Structure 1
Amino acid sequence: MLLQIGSINTFYGPSQAIHGVSFGVGNREVVALLGRNGAGKSTTLRSIMGLNPVASGRIAFDGQDISRHSPQAISRLGITLVPETRDPFVLLTVKENIMLGYRPGSPYTLDRLMDLFPLLAELLKKKGGELSGGQQQMMVMARGLAMGPRVLLLDEPSQGLAPIMVKAVANVLKQLKGEDLTLLLVEQNLNMALEIADRVVVLENGSVADTFTSEEGRANPGRLEQYLAVH
C-alpha cells in the first residue's frame, strides 16, 4: 500500500475523535471515506496531513513513517489536502491562487490544469473572492494539483455546490482516475463516491465499521445505508 494507516488514535483536547483506525490506499487507487457527520472522516484526513497529530498508531507513506512529521514535511513528500473550507486567497487572482502552490516539475502545469478545469480558463484574472462556491472549489482543487502530489486528499469536494458544479467536479475526478495519482476522498454524495472510488471505507463513531469495493456497494446499497441513516 502506498499510504498505510495503522491503528491511529487522534484527540481534540481530552475528547478522542479517532479510535484505532486502520486502512490502506494502494498506488493509483481511489478510496472513498464515508460515514455520518461526526464519524471522524475529516479528522482522519487531517491526521494523515499532520494537522491533527496522532496520539498513537502509525501512518506510513511509501514505507516511510510520517506519523510525527509536520504538515510542511508531509506536503514536500507528495501528499496534498484540499480542505472542505476551500480557503481561497480572496485578493489574489485565480491564476495567482493556482500557481501559488506550483512546484517545478509538477505535471500539472497551468495549461494542463485549464484542460482539466475549462470553467476556470476564462476566470484567471478574476479575484478569488469574486468566484462562486463551485468555482472556488475548482480553483483550490487546481491549486492542490499544481503541487504535483502523489496522493491527493479531498474533503467533501461537492459540499454545498449546485448540481451542475457537482457534475463538473465529478468529471474532473473521473479524469484524474486515469493519471499517476492516488485519491482519498471524503464525500457526502454517495452516488458520486461509488461511481468514482475503487473501494469504500466506512467510519462510524471514529472507528472503521466496514470496507468493501464500490461494486459491492452498488450491488447492495443497504450495506452502506445502514451506517448513514440518522438514528
Structure 2
Amino acid sequence: MDAGYGHVKVIRDARLSVAAGEVVGLVGRNGAGKTTFLSSLIGMLPSTRGSIRLNGQELADLPAHERVRHGLVISPSGGRLFKSLTVEENLLLGLTQPSAAALDPVLQVFPELEKLRMRYAGKLSGGERQMVAIGRALILKPRLLLLDEPSEGLAPLVVLRVAQAIKALRENGIAMLVAEQNVKFTDLICERWFHIDKGVISTMAEAQK
C-alpha cells in the first residue's frame, strides 16, 4: 500500500498482516510514518495504491465510517477525548443507539472506569484518558483494533495496566496493530513486530518474551 499527503508519498509499498487474536507491533521513531500508516488504514487519509482487506472484505474504496462498520477501529494517539463531556458520554459518542448496557464490555476490561463514569474527561489523569480512549474504540466492537502510541506519556505502572488490558482483548479474539516508539512495551504485548522508517515497513521480528 502507498499513501501520503497530496503529491508527497509518505508510505511506500507497505505490507503486513494481523491474525484474529494476534497483537502485532509497528515500531518506529517519531515521524517515521506510523500514524500516517494507521490513518490510511482507517480511511482518514486516502491510500493511493494497494489493498486493505479485513476478513476477506476489501475496504480500500470505502469511507472511514464504513470501515468502522466492518470492524476496523482506531484508538488515536493522545486519546482525543472531549474534555467537556463525561467519561460515559465520551464512551457512548460513536453509537447511534447509546445505552448503559453498551458499556459492559468496556467495564469488564477497565473496571476502574465504573466510578469515573460521571467525571469530566478534562479532569482525568493520563492513564484514565488512555483507558477511556481504548474503551471508546472497544465499544464499536472491533475485529481489528489500531492503537496509536498507547503507552505515550504514561507512568510505568499505568503502562503495565494498559498492557494487561491489551492482553485481555487478545484473549477475546480481537486482532490488534499497535504503533509504538517504546520497544520494551511492544515486546511486552506483541507476538511479533515490524519496523518502519521513512514510510517503509521492514524487518519483521519475534517479540522477546
Fold-level similarity (TM above 0.5):
yes
Instruction: Work out whether 1:129 is the aligned partner of 2:119.
Output: no
Root mean square deviation of aligned Cα = 1.7
TM-score (normalised: structure 2): 0.92
Q: Is the 8 A contact 1:102 1:143 kept in 2?
A: no
Note if 1:49 corresponds to 2:42: yes
Describe the superposition over 1:129-149 as per-residue Cα deviations: whole angstroms up to 9, x where unpaired: 111222111111111101111
CA distance in 1, matches of 2:75, 2:51: 22
In the TM superposition, what is the alpha-carbon distance from 1:160 to its structure 2 partner? 0.9
Within a 5 Å distance, the mapping from 1:131-146 to structure 2 comes to 131-146=124-139
SS class of match (1:212)? strand
2:88 to 74, 87, 95: 95
Distance in 2 (CA, whole Å) between partners of 1:86 and 1:112 is 19
- Aligned counterpart for 2:162 among listed residues 148, 163, 169: 169
CA distance in 2, matches of 1:103, 1:157: 26
Q: Could you tell me how far apart the structure 2 residues matched to 1:139 and 1:188 are?
A: 21
Residues 1:72 and 2:65 are matched in the alignment: yes
1:189 Cα deviation from its structure 2 partner: 2.1
Aligned residue in 2 for 1:198: 191
> Which fold has the larger relative contact order, with Cα–Cα distance below 8 Å and residues 6 or more apart in sequence?
2
Contact 2:151–2:185 (CA under 8 A) maintained in structure 1 = no
Map 1:20-35 to 2 at 5 A. Answer: 20-35=13-28
Distance (whole Å) between structure 1 residues aligned to residue 48 and residue 30 of structure 2? 22
Residue identity (%): 36
Residue deviations 1:16-51 (CA, integer Å, cap 9, x gap): 110111111112211001112222111111111011
Structure 1 residue 89 displacement after superposition:
1.6
Identify unmatched segments of 5+ residues in structure 1.
1-7, 220-231
Structure 1 equivalent of residue 3 of structure 2: 10
How far apart are 1:102 and its partner, in Å? 4.5
Out of 149, 156, 160, which is 1:156 matched to? 149
Post-superposition offset of 1:14? 2.6
For 1:206, give the aligned amino acid: G
Structure 2: tracts of 5 or more residues without a match: none
**What number of residue pairs does the alignment pair up?**
206
Question: Counterpart of 1:13 in structure 2: which amino acid?
Answer: G
Letter in 1 for 2:121: G
Q: CA deviation at 1:115?
A: 2.7
Tell me how far 1:91 sits from its aligned partner. 1.6
Q: 1-side partners of 2:105 and 2:48: how far apart?
A: 39
Superposed displacement of residue 103, structure 1: 7.1
Change (3 A) 1:112 1:9: closer
- Find the aligned partners of 1:162 and 1:50 in 2 and give their Cα distance: 31
Whole-angstrom CA distance in 2 between matches of 1:29 and 1:135: 25
The separation in 1 between residues aligned to 2:9 and 2:116, in whole angstroms, is 43
